Amino acid sequence: MALKREKKRRIRKKPLSLDLPNEKEASPRTIATKEDQAAQENARKDDKRLQKQLLKEGREQEKQKRDQIRQQIREERAQQAAEKQRQKLEQKAVKEADLQLKKCPDYSEAPYEPNEPKFKEIESQTE
């Protein structure tokens, strides 16, 4: 009866890889060492899985840092390009304004001198 209970108990558990030709030849000591070896193997697998996960997380963090740096560089370049474009448009507007002023017949580079005839005419009209 005890033998039947022991067989049922062993069947429910995960079978051990005892590497023995016959299961009846296994002593309790051999079974205990095999169970210890299986536990150590499982612990080693868990440790390996944990190391892989940590390595993967480290790589993922490095990738996120690189992506963030790339994004910052892209933003800086876009800002520089926008600033350059703004300056270019500003210079173009100044140049066009200068051309318009030069085309205008009333434009003169030097300010009016009080002794000039035009200035005297303007003063007499305002009085």
**Averaged pLDDT for residues 98-123:** 64
DSSP for 68-89?
A: HHHHHHHHHHHHHHHHHHHHHH
**Averaged pLDDT for residues 99-114:** 66
The domains of the chain are located at 36-105
Those residues whose C-beta lies under 8 Å from the C-beta of residue 120, and which sit 6 or more positions away, are: 114
Band of the pLDDT at 120, cuts 50, 70, 90?
Answer: low
Those residues whose C-beta lies under 8 Å from the C-beta of residue 107, and which sit 6 or more positions away, are: 101
**Tens-digit pLDDT profile for residues 30-55:** 888 888 999 999 999 999 999 999 99
Q: What Rg, from alpha-carbon coordinates, does the chain have?
A: 46
- pLDDT of 113 above 60: no
